[in-house]
Amino acid sequence: MNPVLRIATLWARHTLWLGAAVLLALAAMAAGIALMGFSGRYLAAALFGFTLAVPLALQFTGFARVVLRYLERIIGHEAIFRALADLRVWMFRGLAASAAGGLGYRRAGDALSRLVNDVDTLDGLFLRIFVPGLSALILAPILGWVLWQEHSLALIAIAPFLIVAFYMPLRAAQEARANAGKAGLAMSGLRSTALDALHGLREVKIFEAEGRMLAAVQSREAALLAAQRELVSRSSALNAQSFLLAQAAILAAILLGFFGAPTAALVAVLVLIAAFEIVLGLPRAGVLYGQSAAAAARVVHAAEAPPPVPDPAEPAPMPSRNAVAFEHVSFSYAPDRLPVFENLSLQLPQASRTAILGPSGAGKSTIAALLLKLIAPSAGQIRLGGTDISLLPAEAVRHRIAYLGQTTHLFADTIRNNLLLGDPTADDARLWAALEAAQLADEINALPEGLNSWLGEGGATLSGGQGRRLALARTLLMDAPILLLDEPCAGLDAATEQEFFKVLNTAAEGRTMLLILHRLTGHENLDRIWRLTGGTLISAAG
Amino acid sequence: MEDSAELLGNDERKKPRRGNPWIKAEQALGLRASRWAMLLGAVQTVGAIIQAACAAALLAAMLHISPAGWSVALTAFGFIAAALLRAYLQMLAEREGFELGAAARRRLRGLVLSTLLALGPAGLRGKHSAELAATAVDRVEAMDGFHARWIPATAQAIIGPVLIGIAALYADWRAGLTLIIAGLFVPFAMAVAGIGASVAAKKQFLAMTRLQIRFLDRIRGISTLVLAGRANDEAAALAQAAAELRQRTMRVLRVAFLSSTALDLAAAAALVIIVLRFAPVLHGALALAPTALFLVLLTPEFFAPLRAFSAVYADRMAVEAIAEDFQALPPPPLPVPPVNIRSVAAYGVTLAFDRVTYAWGDAKPVLENLIFKVGKGEILLLTGASGAGKSTIMDLILGFLQPDSGVVSINGAPLETLVPAARTKMLGWIGQKPVIFAGTIEDNIRFGRPEASETQLADAIRHAHLTELIASLPQGLQTPLGESGFGVSGGQAQRIAIARAFLKDAPLLLLDEPTAHLDPAVERDVLESLRHLAIGRTVVLATHSTMAMDFAKTIGAKRLDLDALRYASWRSEVV
């Protein structure tokens, strides 16, 4: 299905609101047209010495137009706010069900932000494309009738109207779509070059590459501007052509009036002017459509992607025990890529504490992702309490695991709400106990608003160490028997790291724990230590 | 997990102040740049007036009021000429608007990037590079509407009605006065209502922005929500927050939209009044007919620029939201102080710290009265826990930080008295995770010295033990690296950094935990390459790794233990 239409079907729930908005828009448009028409009729009638009871109609249509426009705005915005919310909730649910975890454990923050940008682009679809498009569709027969009244030949003037209302937007959309690829490529080139320059600022300074980097960014920018300029030059030409078509139609209607009924001709001309005022914006809407088509395709693709690990049709009952076993597990990210590991086996007895060490890129986090059912092994089995997790629903498996990863997110919300994510039923006493356990209670207590303090985006108001400890407190609140920690101390200084592990040693009491680290600090209390290198686990100690 | 009252409250607090100076400065620049666009707009308006006059004359002839004849053909020709002129000017104006936006974006982006590049890493501490890149890319893009559309539309909203008002006054002063009064009524009604289009747009824009920010935040953290089993609750909360926000916003908008209604009312009333004003006159005075028609045709043209202006108000609002990001950028660095700048012979380097103290902000100093000296060709091993000041020492030598007191000197010359370019030439550096730029392997190695010869490049590759890797790749040296290219491992990246350092051939080499992220086997290998690199250079090696420490000892390094220093100073305080 066309992705733009797919998005439109999401709004079916609000048919009433959207329908009302469209109807009001049409009524307001009709009142505007009628206002011009009546003005023409009244003027013409006056010229020929008739007196018609038009003034009332004139005042009425004028007033109706003002009121209808107001209602159109109110209802239109009500409708669009509803549609907007639905689009976002749908997208959120879709992502959560499909690729969510997958997107999260690879660092895909930027890809997600881009997707959100795409959703924002789609906001314009309804008010700026559907409503005027529909208006034009309904306007065409009315206009035809009015022109017919003037002179049968005057119907010719409908042709430019149809071209401006339908053909020009189509061409504009095609131009925009053809350009979207080029502009998108230039934009991502610009983005990655700018990111490179700033991410590698140290290298840039040390190797005196400031000028080179600036030049590289500016050349990418020039490419972007060239692509955009191309579209502007084409669409501005289309707009100018549309304008000329409108003027040609108006001139034709005037000249044909010499051969037909003058009054009807004056009415027709004024109506034509008002009608073109409405559709002259459509070629611009066409550009917008062409640009949102790609965004809509990306959004639909992401939201409707199938889950990476499908849940079993008939799930097995959840096991009562919480030992974890990897049995001869192999995994590779794609069939044509080298396996991350092959034939890997690992036992995590109930209530044991295990660490897996290894350099970054060795596949440690892949073990976590496999256990969380974010990915599935290409061979072998993972057992939870003796049951193969492929037979268990992902949500139930995750319910047993309290996970703290490198990318665990702190939300732009209060500290309380961030903690409640771990256990929505927890009372203040439990929240403080968790903060106490994570060695954060004193610092939160010192904040003027305590638990109600607002965290900035990504926890920006906390230091790195405080943020990690808050994430730990949240993880500890989850009443899950398995604790899975993936580099919980990334970004912490040594002293904080030591404190963190001391806290962890008591807080994890009685739970099955798997700790993933690139090196040990010596303060972890562990039963077993493995080192993951070259795709195999080697016992390091314990 | 949401209390949207708080969400709202939080945003209210950072409501943009009236008359933000940054926006004012941008506006002044934009207005200055848009003179040509204003002229185009004015001429377009004149074209519209001519066209309306021609159309009115034609209509009058059509209604058999004025005689039809050759004059009709001439008027029709005038109509066509005016229409062609308008179409052409409209196209030019649209392109000119784009150029205005493009020029502003180029200027802003150049400013942001050159400031950030000049400041270097130390000036940006606490800011994420992705965030800064977003300012340099997306925020700058978002400034386009302000310069490309809003400023020209603002000018046209004054120029257009004024010109048309004059024409209308000239044609018929009563009708002209009607138009002008209706035109003035628009801002007057907005002001009297005390709400204005700006408030409506602002509220609507803020509501949308809030929803978008919240959505972005939840999407970014979606894996956290899914893994915590809270995705469904959050979806419901998201819908709920959106609904509350909608109700709150609509309550405001219902009142605020009255200001747009003022515009509609003025336009409709003006048309009706003009029609009614002429109707009785026309019975006896057919000569007035062209004037009457002219004014009826002029009325929509009079209000069109005002409508266009309110249509681009969102572009103005968008700036309020992003101005803060631009203002939050650090100011550009001061030019090099005018002390007696000199250069030192780069044949062997002696590095010395003389009673150097440095503190981050108001915190307790990381380094206090630090004294050490590394002679020509010597190696200094820096050890200590994270946070003990190893990286601070590196940044002080690199010139990214200036000591609070004391002197860092190279060959006896204080660092700040050296020509910056000459100082940079003397320094080589390898960090924990070298940045691999988008480009080929060759580009990445040549990053150290783009003008290096083929032989020098080959030597660097050989010394850095990269020969085998490059031979194994089908595209060899031209293999693309970076985000979309071949992914290099940590050890390979480190070798590329070593090749860069070989190529740069600087006499003072700083190694900041070069093996922190490597496998033991790879670490041994990389250390071996570093041994080659160290020969004949003055080296400072900061490390945690026992293997790297052992390595340093075998090549005769002196050791400076920052933990021990701190412990000693702490003990002396207690005593």
Instruction: Output the pLDDT for position B103.
Output: 96
Domain of A396? 324-541
Q: How would residue B8 be classed by pLDDT, with cut points 50, 70 and 90?
A: very low
* Planar angle of CA B485, B489, B494, nearest 5 degrees: 105
In a domain, A309, yes or no: no
Mean pLDDT across A5-13: 83
Burial of B363 per CB tally in 10 Å (0-12, 13-18, 19+): exposed
Task: Number of A to B CB contacts under 8 A, please give it.
Answer: 387
What was the pLDDT predicted at B65?
A: 67
Element (H, E) at A381: strand A379-384
Residue A462 has what DSSP assignment?
S
> In B61-75, which positions are buried (b, 16+ CB within 10 angstroms) versus exposed (e)?
bbbebbeeeeebeeb
- Asked if B94 lies within 8 A of A257 by C-beta distance, the reply is no
State the pLDDT at residue A322: 86
Q: Beta strand B508-512 with B427-430: parallel, antiparallel or unpaired? A: parallel
B394-409: per-residue pLDDT in tens? 888 988 888 889 999 8
Q: How far, in Å, CA of A12 to CA of B510, rounded?
A: 63
Structure tokens at A160: 């430019």
Q: Are B380 and B502 in contact (CB under 8 A)?
A: no
Listing DSSP states for B416-474 in one string gives GGB-HHHHHHHEEEE-SSPPPPSEEHHHHHHTT-TT--HHHHHHHHHHTT-HHHHHHST
Distance between CA atoms of residues B429 and B415, nearest Å:
17
CA distance A486 to A464: 16
Same domain, A426 and A477: yes
What would the pLDDT profile of A186-230 be if each residue is shown by its tens digit?
888 888 888 888 888 888 888 888 889 999 999 999 999 999 999
Within a domain: A192: yes
Domain boundary among A303, A332, A363: A303
Number of domains in chain A: 2
Pair A12, A49 in one domain: yes
pLDDT digits (tens, 9 = 90+) for B410-421: 888 888 888 777
Q: Please identify which residue in the block is written with the tokens 């990286």.
A: B391
Contacts of A421 in chain B (CB under 8 A): 1, 224-225, 228, 230
Torsion of CA A138, A140, A144, A150, to 10 degrees: 100
- CA B160 to CA B454: how far, in whole Å? 64
Q: What is the pLDDT of residues B282-302, one digit of tens each?
A: 666 677 778 888 998 899 899
The whole-angstrom separation of Cα A287 and Cα A174 is 8
Here the tokens at position B536 are 């004949």
Chain A residue numbers with beta carbons less than 8 Å from the beta carbon of B124 are 201
B423 class by beta-carbon count within 10 Å (0-12 exposed, 13-18 middle, 19+ buried): buried
Q: For residue A483, what is the domain's CATH number?
A: 3.40.50.300
Domain contains A518 = yes
> Per the structure block, which two tokens stand in for A366?
């892949």
Contacts of A333 in chain B (CB under 8 A): none
Query: Looking at beta carbons, which residues of chain B come within 8 Å of A243?
Result: 83, 86-87, 90
Residue A162, token pair as written in the block: 């149809």
Task: Give the percent of chain A with pLDDT over 70.
Answer: 91
pLDDT, tens digit, 9 for 90 and up, residues B489-500: 777 888 899 899
- The answer to whether residues A292 and A122 touch, using CB atoms and an 8 Å cutoff, is yes
Longest dimension (CA), chain A: 109
| Tally of residues, chain A | 542
Q: Would you list the DSSP string of B90-155? A: HHHHHHHHHHHHHHHHHHHHHHHHHHHHHHTGGGGTTS-HHHHHHIIIIIHHHTHHIIIIIHHHHH
Pick the range with the lowest mean pLDDT from B2-11, B41-50, B173-182. B2-11
> Which residues, other chains included, contact B267 with Cβ-Cβ below 8 Å and sequence gap of 6+?
B182, B299, B300, B303
Chain B residues within an 8 Å CB radius of A204: 117
Choose the mutation target among A50, A71, A207, A266 for the interface with B, i.e. most B CBs under 10 Å. Answer: A207
Span A366-422, pLDDT tens digits? 888 888 888 888 889 999 988 999 899 888 888 899 988 876 778 878 889 889 888
Instruction: Note the pLDDT tens digit of each residue in B301-332.
Output: 999 998 888 778 778 877 877 787 788 777 77
Chain B nearest-CA distance from A379, in A, is 24
Q: Each residue of A157-170: pLDDT tens digit?
A: 889 999 999 999 99
Q: Given its phi and psi angles, is residue B126 left (phi above 0), alpha (psi -120 to 50 degrees) or beta?
A: left
Mutation choice for A interface testing from B6, B74, B186, B227 by most A CBs within 10 A: B227
Share of chain B above pLDDT 70, in %: 82
Q: Are residues A246 and A353 in the same domain?
A: no
| B100 close to B147: Cβ distance less than 8 angstroms | yes
Biggest CA–CA distance in chain B, Å, is 115
C-alpha to C-alpha distance for B402 and B396, rounded to whole angstroms: 6
Answer yes or no: do A417 and B257 touch at CB < 8 A.
no
Rounded to the nearest angstrom, the minimum Cα separation between B356 and chain A is 22
- For residues B459 and B532, the answer to whether their CB atoms sit within 8 Å is no
Query: How many Å apart are CA B164 and CA A423, to the nearest integer?
Result: 66
pLDDT at B193: 55
Of B351, B68, B51, B150, the C-alpha closest to A246 is B51
Q: Which of A47, A212, A410 to mutate: most B Cβ within 10 Å?
A: A47
Q: Do B1 and A59 count as a contact with CB atoms less than 8 A apart?
A: no
CA–CA dist B286, B61 (Å, integer): 11
Mean pLDDT score across all residues of chain A = 83
Name the β-bridge partners of A329.
Answer: A344
Which site among A29, A69, A81, A114 would you substitute to test the B interface, given the most B Cβ atoms closer than 10 Å to its Cβ?
Answer: A81
A513 strand-pairing partners:
A353, A483
Q: Report the percentage of chain B scoring pLDDT > 90.
A: 23
A430/A103: higher pLDDT: A430
Domain identity same for A257 and A154: yes
Strand partners, B351: B374, B410
Are residues A434 and A286 located together in one domain of the fold? no
**The pLDDT of residue A234 is above 90:** yes
| pLDDT for A104 | 42
Q: Is residue A213 part of a domain?
A: yes
Q: How confident is the model at residue B102 (pLDDT cuts 50, 70, 90)?
A: very high
ipTM of the complex model: 0.83
Q: Do B222 and A257 touch (CB under 8 A)?
A: no
Residues A353 and A450 in one domain: yes
Q: Output the pLDDT for position B15.
A: 42
Q: Give B35's contacts (C-beta < 8 A, 6+ positions apart).
A: none
- What's the full length of chain B, in residues? 575
| pLDDT computed for residue B14 by the predictor | 39
Quick one: tokens of B551? Answer: 């390595």
- Residues of A in Cβ contact (< 8 Å) with B483: 192
pLDDT surpasses 50 at A497: yes
CATH match for B351-574 among 3.40.50.300, 3.60.110.10, 2.40.50.1020, 3.40.50.2000: 3.40.50.300
Does A232 contact B95 at a Cβ distance shorter than 8 Å?
Answer: yes
- The shortest CB-CB distance from B216 to any of A103, A113, A244 is to A113
B429:A202 CB<8 A = yes
Of A66, A116, A255, the CB nearest to B261: A66
Distance (Å) of CA B490 to CA A338, A365, B80, B513:
17, 16, 70, 13
CB–CB contact B1 A421 (8 Å): yes
Is the separation of the CB atoms in A464 and A492 below 8 Å? yes
Between CA B513 and CA B390 the distance in angstroms is 9
Residue A166 has a pLDDT of 92
Query: In this model, does residue B1 exceed pLDDT 50?
Result: no
A390 and A279 together in one domain: no
B269–A105 CB contact, under 8 Å: no
Question: What average pLDDT does the segment B184-197 reach?
Answer: 66
The yes-or-no verdict on residue B388 having pLDDT over 60 is yes
Q: What residues of B are in contact with residue A119 (Cβ under 8 Å)? A: 215
Outline where B257-381 has alpha helix (H).
258-284, 289-311, 313-327
Strand partners, A537: A532
- Nearest chain A residue to B288 by CA distance is A47
**Best B100, B220, B253, B295 residue to mutate vs chain A (most A CBs within 10 Å):** B220
- Using DSSP's 3-state secondary structure scheme, residue A352 falls into coil
How does DSSP classify residue A166?
Answer: I
Using the beta-carbon criterion (under 8 Å), do B120 and A81 form an inter-chain contact? no
Q: Are residues A207 and A272 in the same domain?
A: yes
Q: Which of A60, A72, A201 to mutate to test the interface with B (most CBs of B within 10 A)?
A: A201
Element (H, E) at A382: strand A379-384
Among B249, B268, B265, CA closest to B201: B249
Using an 8 Å CB-CB cutoff, list chain A residues near B257.
70, 73-74
Residues of B in contact with A187 (CB under 8 A): 137
Domain residues of chain B, as ranges? 21-327, 351-574
Query: Nearest CA to CA, how far is B119 from chain A (Å)?
Result: 9
Token code pair at residue B113: 């990037």
Confidence at B5, pLDDT banded by 50, 70, 90: very low
Q: Which residues of A touch B58 (CB under 8 A)?
A: 251, 254-255
List CB contacts (< 8 A) between B76 and chain A: 251, 255
Minimal Cβ distance to B224: which of A97, A262, A409: A409
Q: Compare all CA atoms of chain A with the CA of B227 and give the residue at the minimum distance.
A: A398
Which DSSP category does B66 fall into? Answer: S
Given pLDDT bands bounded at 50, 70 and 90, which one contains residue B534? confident
Interface contact flag, A251 B276, Cβ < 8 Å: no
The minimum CA-CA distance between A347 and chain B, rounded to whole Å, is 22
Give the burial class of B328: count Cβ atoms within 10 A of its Cβ; 0-12 exposed, 13-18 middle, 19 or more buried.
exposed
Q: Give the closest residue to B139 by CA, choosing from B112, B100, B166, B119.
A: B112
Q: Which residue has the tokens 């990001």?
A: B325
Is the same domain home to A280 and A356? no
User: How many CB atoms are closer than 10 A to CB A162?
Assistant: 16
Same domain, A406 and A476: yes
Beta bridge partners of A267: none
Q: Which of B481, B391, B477 is nearest to B429 (CA)?
A: B391
Looking at domain B21-327, its CATH architecture is Up-down Bundle (1.20)
Instruction: Work out the average pLDDT over B538-553.
Output: 86
Residue pointed to by tokens 């290894």: A358
Strand order through the sheet with B351-358: B367-374, B351-358, B405-410, B413-414
CB contact under 8 A, A409 and B61: no
Tens of pLDDT, residue by residue over A296-347, are 888 888 888 777 788 888 888 888 888 899 999 998 877 766 777 888 888 9
CA distance A275 to chain B (A): 12
Residues A66 and A18 in one domain: yes
> Sign of dihedral through CA atoms A224, A225, A229, A232?
positive
